[in-house]
Amino acid sequence: MPQTTQYTEDNIRSLDWKEHIRMRPGMYIGKLGDGSSADDGIYILLKEVLDNSIDEFVMGAGKTIDISVKDGEVTVRDYGRGIPLGKVVDVVSRMNTGGKYDTRAFKKSVGLNGVGTKAVNALSTHFKVESVRDDQSKIAVFERGELVEDPAQEPSSKRKGTSVSFVPDESIFKHYRYRHEYIVRMLKNYVYLNPGLTIVFNGEKYKSDNGLKDLLEDNNNAEDMLYPIIHLRGNDIEVAITHSKTQYSEEYHSFVNGQHTTQGGTHQSAFREAIVKTVRDHYGKNFDASDIRKSIISAISIKVMEPVFESQTKTKLGSTDMGGDLPSVRAYINDFIGTQLDNYLHKNTTTAEQLQRKILQAEKERKELSGIRKLARERAKKASLHNKKLRDCRVHLGDLKKERRLESTLFITEGDSASGSITKSRDVNTQAVFSLRGKPLNSYGMSKKIVYENEEFNLLQAALNIEESMEDLRYNNIVIATDADVDGMHIRLLLITFFLQFFPELIKEGHLYILQTPLFRVRNKKETIYCYSKQERINAIKKLGQKPEITRFKGLGEISPDEFKYFIGEDIRLDPVMLDRAVGIDELLSFYMGKNTPKRQEFIIDNLKVELDQIEE
């Protein structure tokens, strides 16, 4: 008989607020990460502080927010009303304390849980808050949530407002680095949603006059838009709509009370439904929904009383009601789109004609592909049943919390040995593996037909669940894991070409990454150091001294599963694949994958020398 463990009062432990946050950070900020992904925790920390400053602007207090990120330290300074001086310490360190519980003051605020800045405080090695109001200043300084300085308030000639500085704790956010591109994207979304607001980030100003219209223009090449952006505004709602000439699937940017709901929710579903109904009614034809929405590029922002989100990070709206005397979210959006979009199409006949031609072309293409698509789906289903290509993870079996889907990752790799190493060393809860057979096809210039006819592309599309829309994307992170040699680089380029050609929003929305694996292992009897570049190898040799053993990893298959688990676990290094918004996708693909030119040859030779110098001894 097993011995029974004693269960007494001594077994009961109460955690204080900061201990609980530090022990279970995922409950408060989602996944942690190192900054390689836009939804990593270090950006959530910035967002939580920034949301408070945005709410001040919404309440009419302060039109400028200054932000600085330097050497891992973040500072956010607004010129709002300032935290009441007697409550400065409580607001950033006492749970369920904050002005947003008074819904008269913050009727349509983002942060209603009273946790935001407390989480930032607890998860930072250094946290300083200063409030200025009524010609007085109050400062408080914390370390990992522990109050270390609490001086009395003093007279001040500074402008009123609040300043928060923090340094994320590297023991929690390992090897973190803030990426300029992700912060800029976040800040641009804030100014799109708040006309009149100016955000100054490291000296650079961001402001928007045309809201969501500016968002679509900044994120897409003007030459790729089928017709001028339809921009509609109403009470508590704003939308922007166009269609792409070249893109195949749907693209949505959705927001609730200024929060970017990257996983959509009830408002995005209602928006997609409303567009279909309105278009059918306008043309008097029962067009297929997929033909209407094919190639759509759009954005929607709504304001809801006391919104309910499906997770602490507020990436998916769960509310079904607008609040107050307003109807449901679905009815409100359907009514607005049904009236305003229909009116627009009646007044702008050229746009209406272009949209109709686009729908009819999509219908023609769909019917031409219908037989191929049916066969392709059957092949994909059969392949899944026999587990030939995809080794899935448990996050899709329904026995893990929804929040963990943010951690879901699909590794795309080539060869049995490499996929075998990753499969054996992965986290089966959140990490899946898709095995390629040889090099993928160069899909540049090909039609969507090739996605169904080519087995590799068809099965990859099915694994990701992205045939119609990104809304049902099964993995938050798609990681290309290839050898660090010329062949590996070629496979990366071919896969990136596939995604750019047929699913560019995967890259636009920051889902695609390159896995970085060590090139060298340097070790002696006491210590092992993995090196990702020649310089790291040199530093490791200096550190270990006395002629350590040096191993050069020439392929993923050479790394044992016991070692591989370190490179795809907590210390995973990912390089995000990002698009230069100033360069059109057609132009980009034409340069890299089109006909050979002297200019491209020169570019490849120059850059290949740099890449090979990093990986060759």
For residue 580, the model assigns a pLDDT of 67
In a domain, 97, yes or no: yes
Same domain, 432 and 567: yes
Q: Is pLDDT above 90 for 187?
A: yes
Q: Is residue 396 part of a domain?
A: yes
Asked which of 167, 191, 206 is the last residue of a domain, the reply is: 206
* CA angle, 217 then 221 then 226, to 5°: 85
More confident residue, 439 or 284: 284
Band (606; pLDDT cuts 50, 70, 90): low
One domain for residues 155 and 272: no
300 within a domain of the structure (yes/no): yes
- Whether residue 166 is predicted with pLDDT greater than 80 in this model: the reply is yes
Closest CA to 111 of 25, 49, 190: 49
Residue 162 shares a structural domain with residue 259? no
Higher-confidence position of 240 and 476: 240
* Predicted local distance difference test score (pLDDT) of residue 549: 92
Q: Is the pLDDT of residue 205 over 80?
A: yes
Task: Note whether 445 and 353 are same-domain residues.
Answer: no
**Position 501 confidence tier, pLDDT thresholds 50, 70, 90:** confident
Percent of the residues in the chain that have a pLDDT greater than 70, as a whole number? 84
Please determine, for residue 584, whether its predicted confidence score (pLDDT) is greater than 70: no
Q: Are residues 188 and 218 in contact, defined by beta-carbon separation less than 8 angstroms?
A: yes
Half-sphere exposure of 513 (CA within 13 A, CB side): 23
2-16 tens-digit pLDDT: 455 554 455 444 557
Residues 153 and 216 in one domain: no
**228 and 359 co-located in one domain:** yes
CA end-to-end distance (rounded Å), the chain:
60
25 and 160, same domain (yes or no):
yes
pLDDT score recorded for residue 1: 45
Phi, psi of 507 (to 5 degrees): -80, -40
Confidence (pLDDT) at 601 = 61
Q: Is residue 540 part of a domain?
A: no
Of 260, 293, 257, nearest to 274 by C-alpha is 293
Within 122-250, strands assigned E span 124-133, 136-143, 146-149, 154-155, 161-168, 198-201, 204-206, 230-234, 237-243
Residue matched to tokens 């060869």: 415
**Which range is most confident: 77-81, 258-262, 558-562?**
77-81
Q: Are 576 and 436 within one domain?
A: yes
Least confident among 17-26, 130-139, 220-229, 264-273: 17-26
The answer on 452 and 508 residing in a single domain is: yes
Cα Rg of the chain (Å, integer)? 26
CATH of the domain at 404: 3.40.50.670
Give the three-state DSSP class for 605. Answer: helix
- The 10s digit of each residue's pLDDT in 40-82 is 899 999 999 998 899 889 888 889 999 999 988 999 999 999 9
| pLDDT for 137 | 95
Task: Supply 303's token pair.
Answer: 């304001």
The pLDDT score that the predictor gives to residue 101 is: 42
Of 206, 234, 258, the residue at which a domain comes to its end is 206
Task: Please check whether residues 356 and 501 belong to one and the same domain.
Answer: no
In this structure, the answer to whether residues 412 and 561 fall within a common structural domain is yes
369 has a pLDDT exceeding 70: yes
Distances (CA, A) of 413 to 389, 410, 488, 553: 10, 10, 10, 16
Same-domain status, 197 and 216: no
Query: Among 166, 183, 206, where does a domain finish?
Result: 206
Domain span at residue 596 reads 387-517+553-615
85 within some domain: yes
CATH number at residue 290: 3.30.230.10
pLDDT above 70 for 364: yes
CA atoms within 13 A on the CB side of 214: 15
Per residue in 430-468, pLDDT (tens digit) is 899 998 888 888 888 888 888 888 888 888 888 898 877
Q: Tell me, what DSSP letter sits at residue 255?
A: E
402-422: pLDDT as tens digits: 556 778 899 999 877 778 888
In a domain, 32, yes or no: yes
Q: How confident is the model at residue 237 (pLDDT cuts 50, 70, 90)?
A: very high
- Tell me how far apart the alpha carbons of residues 84 and 89 are, in angstroms, rounded to a whole number: 10
Q: What is the pLDDT of residue 104?
A: 45
pLDDT for the residue numbered 388: 62
Amino acid 227: pLDDT: 95
Average pLDDT value for residue range 212-240: 92
Predicted structure pTM score: 0.82
Residue 155 identity (one-letter amino acid): P
For residue 294, what are its two tokens?
A: 């094919």
Q: How many CA atoms lie within 13 A of 346 on its CB side?
A: 9
